[in-house]
Structure 1
Amino acid sequence: MELYVRLNDSTDKDYAFQLPENATVNSHIKAIFSTSAARIKQRVALSDLMVIRPSIFHEYEPVEYYKSTHPGHLTEGGCLIFDYKADRKEYLEKLDYEKPLIDQLWPGQLIVPQWRMSKKYVAIYVAIMAAWLYTDLPDCISPTPGICITNQLSRMLIPILEKWGVQADLVNKLREEITPNYNSVAAQWAFFGLHVLKVLFTTFFFYIAMANPFSFNPIKMYKIRNVAITQKNEKIQALLKYLGWIGARRATYDDYQTNYYDYIIKKFGGVVQAYRAGAIKRAAAPGVPLGAGEGFQTPLEERFTGNTFKRIDEENPKFILSEEYFCELENNLKELLDEADGNIGRMNAEIRRFRRYGIYEPSEKLKHVVDVRKEIYIKDKEIAEAGKTADKKRD
């Protein structure tokens, strides 16, 4: 069973994992985030190889595990990708840690870990930033003036410059600048204001995880740089096999739209040819967002009783998941792989694309489902826009 697990609490870090049928949260999902290799009976943990937590302010392991029940976005190939709202509270349902995942999720559904801010790491960060700011206090109010980092570096540099025989005027100028209250009071406060902004920007970058370092330990950073993730590295290969790591990430909608557009242009041999074929409009806004009761909101107990291809042609059509649907996806993928004529490179590329973007050349059955659902979406959108226009005219 293939599932997607969100790492770093980031929409572009939804990684695919291939798990056994008896896999549970306790047996496999927690192992992905474990910081102890011994606990999962391995020689190395995933957190020893990559950053998993959302930011330096969070705990290293999640506190709870949920599944996303957002219906999803139906692609042009009849597959599902996750909506940007997939991790909102109203779409999250807590998982049973002991119950097999196959009895709780649809294939390809998203598991969203919940993280907790660490009071310990926040306190350490605040203490470091406060100490840094203290050293930069204006000399006019500082109990220990002249101890900022730049002054300390200058004090170390002066004897070296004197030893090298640098001009005395330059050395004396440097010595004057590190003298307490050398600058005017206004200049001291201006420099301190810049230091405050520096700390605020640094904190902002860490908070939004624009900067999310693997470690602040230089020795650990050096070791991870020299880790070779190859077939010869048996302990890493054993870990990835145990976790069911595939290495594929599910695309966001924007990523999918860009890639699909490029695919269509290449397929038809250019923008003009694609336009003449009537494919540009579809490529510019591929797929359709699903509504309540569709996609991943399909009740699991209907997996073997429901039928995706019959339901879409019934009154009040909906796109539901079913065993028939997954069998059709599998058969469609097999046909695409057969077209590769044994070319391993093409076959691997097709599988990678399927796991990231879904199918680009759907079967007639899948294409029919997408066409019907998209037609309904367009009609509903036109009705909604007409209603808004009528409301504006009344106002």
Structure 2
Amino acid sequence: MSSNPIASTSGDATPEQAPRTLDIYVRMNNDFEKDYCFSVNRDDPVSFLYKIFETVPINLAPSYFYENTPVGFAVSHEPGFLTSTGTLLFNHNAHKPEFLREIKDLNVSFKDVVWDGQLIVPLWKKHTRHHATIISILLVWLFTDLPAFIAPIPNMALSNHIMRVADYFYDNPAITEAAEPGHFSGIYSQLAFFAFHVVKCVALYFILRSGLVNPITLSWFKSGKVKSKSANLSREDLVSIGWTAARRDTINEWRDEYRQHVIDSNGGIVPAFQKGLLKDIGTRGFNLSKGEGFDSPFPFNNNPDENDVKLIINDEYLVQLASGLLKIYNDPEVSDIEKVKATRAFRSRGNFDDNEYLQAMYSKRLAAQADNKPTDPLVKKTE
């Protein structure tokens, strides 16, 4: 959200009435738990997003085997998950190619390609040299550790040399024993050690490939520059890229938070249970279909067919979604700090308030849903 808590990207608002900024979400590392919110000027070009990757001193690519900077950006049109309070959440597969529409011209302004709250996915190119280098290092390491009875060069095992170096610096009996030249003299012990080494190298490869360990660089010289850049990162730098410190909730996180909200709002779990407010609270909501939700027509259709049961995003929907936040902004008794907290919460979880328009919209769409059980395999059922 911007200073104006209601932001839309099209419709009947005049340029003077339209908010200057809009919120977008960027999926980092192709990870559905890392959909971060950025507040951008609606008239800025999409190429502004490159500034994020130039400023933040961490690797935002899926893994070390990809370039650090994306080659482009795409808008996700995966329809999304509709909560019982009318909020749309991103699904875990929203970055998959079948849901993406690449932004061909990065000089086009944000307002012409996305609406407030939509997900943008960076497009990544594989780093062939990084991939080849890691595989080469691991293969050379395996070659040097071939069992002694088949090794072409005697005493070339790199692991043994590493053990000897470790033995020099650390007075540890286990290391000393492993560093002894004849420690793995038997054929079977050599084969067992080599098999263990193969498993270790495969594990190291997949740790890097999966992004579990995701360094910007493995170069000692370059890593020093990265540390320096991280140390010098200022609040002004983060503000310049539209950083909001908000991350969009996953479906499971939203359900847990909403359940706690209902409990807290009704004086505890017992009163909430007695009122029947916790019934099915862990299974409410469902995935939307093609042509609705985040796959709604763009620009907006602000005169939808009343007989159409699809949830079509338009200006009215966005205004109603932010109406609770607007009340907080217009309340003179609410402090600025509380307004900031409310804005951040809205960016993370969307609407938690009762809203007749959104409830009617949800009920109408739910009635048309043949099966209102979650279809996302990563959505858990909570009580």
Contact kept in structure 2, 1:78 and 1:362, CA below 8 Å = no
Following TM superposition, by how much is the alpha carbon of 1:150 offset from its aligned partner in structure 2, in angstroms? 4.6
Q: What does residue 63 of structure 1 align with?
A: 71
Residue number among 262, 281, 284 corresponding to 1:283 in the alignment: 281
Aligned counterparts of 1:157 and 1:94: Cα–Cα separation in 2: 51
User: Which amino acid in structure 2 is aligned with residue 177 of structure 1?
Assistant: E
Contact 1:12 1:251 (8 Å CA) reproduced: yes
- In structure 2, the residue matched to 1:390 is none
Change (3 A) 1:269 1:220: farther
Q: Which residue of 2 aligns with 1:199?
A: 201
Which amino acid in structure 2 is aligned with residue 94 of structure 1? Answer: E
Question: Residue 341 of structure 1 corresponds to which residue in structure 2?
Answer: 333
When residues 341 and 288 of structure 1 are mapped into structure 2, their CA distance, relative to the original with a 3 A threshold, is farther
Q: Does residue 1:317 correspond to 2:314, yes or no?
A: no
Instruction: Give the one of 357, 360, 370 matched to 1:365.
Output: 357
Instruction: Report the secondary structure of 2:199's partner residue.
Output: helix
For residues 1-395 of structure 1, the aligned pairs below 5 Å read 1-26=22-47, 28-34=48-54, 45-46=55-56, 49-95=57-103, 96-156=105-165, 174=177, 177-179=180-182, 183-217=185-219, 236-303=234-301, 305-306=302-303, 314-337=306-329, 341-377=333-369, 380-381=370-371
* C-alpha deviation, 1:196, in angstroms: 0.2
Q: Highest Rg: 1 or 2?
A: 1
| C-alpha distance 348-76 of structure 1, shift in aligned 2 (>3 A) | farther
TM-score by length of 1: 0.78
CA distance in 1, matches of 2:83, 2:169: 66
Q: Secondary structure at the match of 2:240?
A: helix
Question: Is the 8 Å Cα contact of residues 160 and 179 (structure 2) preserved in structure 1?
Answer: no
- Quick one: distance in 1 between partners of 2:323 and 2:168? 76
| Cα distance in structure 1, aligned partners of 2:168 and 2:313 | 75
Bigger fraction of residues in helix:
1
Q: Map Cα deviations across residues 4-59 of structure 1 (whole Å, 9 max, x no partner).
A: 11111111111111111222222x1222234xxxxxxxxxx22xx22211101111
1:124: how far off? Answer: 0.8
SS of alignment partner, residue 371 of structure 2: helix
CA 154–278 in structure 1, closer or farther in 2 if over 3 Å, else same:
closer
How far 1:368 moved relative to its partner? Answer: 2.1
Q: Percent identity?
A: 29
Asked whether the equivalents of residues 154 and 174 of structure 1 are also in contact (C-alpha less than 8 Å), the reply is no
User: Which whole-Å CA distance do the structure 1 matches of 2:162 and 2:100 have between them?
Assistant: 52
Counting matched residue pairs gives: 350
Structure 1 CA distance for aligned equivalents of residues 224 and 153 of structure 2 = 36
Structure 2-normalised TM-score?
Answer: 0.81
**What is the alpha-carbon distance in structure 2 between the residues aligned to residue 93 and residue 175 of structure 1?**
56
Q: Contact 1:75–1:358 (CA<8 Å) still a contact in 2?
A: no
Note if contact 1:106-1:296 (Cα within 8 Å) is conserved in structure 2.
no
